[in-house]
Amino acid sequence: MQLKKINIGKLHTENNIFLAPLAGYTNCVFRSMCFSLGAGLTFTEMVSAKGLCYDSKNTKELLQLPPEYAGLNAVQLFGSDPYFMRKAAESDELSGYDIIDINMGCPVPKIFKNGEGSALLQDIPLASRIVGEVAKCGKPVTVKFRTGVDKNHLVTRDFALAMQDAGASLITIHGRTRDKIYSGPVDFDQIASAKAAVSIPVIANGGVFSVADADGLMDKTGADGIAVARAAMYDPFIFCALSGTPVPDKKAVIKKQIGDTFSLFGERFATVYMRKMLAFYIKGMPGASAIKMKLFRCADRGEIEEILNGLNF
């Protein structure tokens, strides 16, 4: 894959391989780890603009900044009210973030039915007003969206142009419609049509689980870069392969992730979270099913690390 820096407003990323936002997973420790492995830009889990404005404790917990992190900090907001989106972007809680990303692609029914996420694909004027208001915060604004709500309502090119005209500095396109959730083929032609229409950087997202997948996505869409989503949960070391970063001692990296997660988030959350992460990491490993059964019985950090010590990556 051909690496290059991506300009986002007056900022630039380390390279054009991004870690996409992943609800429930891209906390500050995971983001920091992926950056150290070669990701050029990482995003928070999606954060509710109204939750932030109404002082939600759970929302604020998503905004912890990564320790020992030298990259740009990007937060992803979701919402459908331009006023609350701008208010959240200008809040003190986001003062440490360099980039505001707006989620206009989440397919989850609860989000969609509330007029947020991918529901905004059905209302381009409202989506444009949201971007215009958020851009008033003075930070670069990016938008992540899908090709449409279904195959009969593809809006990729028009939506991309509208986001650019409204003030977006970069767009990320998940090459599937909302009804496909995370399955099915990626529509390369739709992403390519948007890339040909706009002058801002276009990041392609969807179906990247290997270097070959990344190369294919770049070649078929003409995109400026790629965003890796689910593959990073199963194998964060994919960023080493994509960026040419030397692969470190995997066990040591994961052990650091465990330690940092327990230090920052407390035992209860960290135990549940790291059980899930380690279960992802061992997928395809001999005896993975038996290891998972032991893993999900772990009650503390020591038991999780004991299982990690017995693994052979």
Q: Which of 206, 221, 243 is the last residue of a domain?
A: 243
Tell me the three state secondary structure of residue 61: helix
| Helix axis angle, 188-197 to 211-221, nearest 10° | 50
Buried b / exposed e along 262-279 (16+ C-beta atoms within 10 A): beebeeeebbebbbebbb
Residues serving a catalytic function are 106
Looking at the structure, tell me whether residues 256 and 201 fall in a common domain. no
Return the pLDDT at 55.
84
Among 77, 101, 118, 83, residue whose Cα is nearest residue 9? 101
Number of folded domains in the chain?
2
Return the pLDDT at 294.
94
Q: Tokens at residue 12, please? A: 């630039």
Return the pLDDT at 183.
87
pTM check: above 0.85: yes
| Contact yes or no for 17/147 (Cβ under 8 A) | no
Is residue 299 in a domain? yes
Is residue 298 in a domain? yes
Looking at the structure, tell me whether residues 169 and 293 fall in a common domain. no
DSSP labels, 96-124: T-SEEEEEE----HHHHHTT-GGGGGG-H
Return the pLDDT at 145.
98
Kindly calculate the radius of gyration of the chain based on its CA atoms and give it in whole angstroms: 19
- Which residues have CB under 8 Å from 147's CB, separation 6+? 154, 155, 156, 173, 174, 175, 176, 177, 187, 190, 191
Looking at the structure, tell me whether residues 225 and 257 fall in a common domain. no
Q: CATH number of the domain that 173 lies in?
A: 3.20.20.70
* Residue 220 exposed, middle or buried by CB count within 10 Å (0-12, 13-18, 19+): middle
pLDDT along the chain (313 residues), means of 10: 95 97 95 96 96 87 84 96 97 96 97 97 98 98 98 97 98 97 94 98 97 97 98 97 97 97 94 97 93 95 96 88
Is residue 1 in a domain? no
The domain of 302 spans 250-309
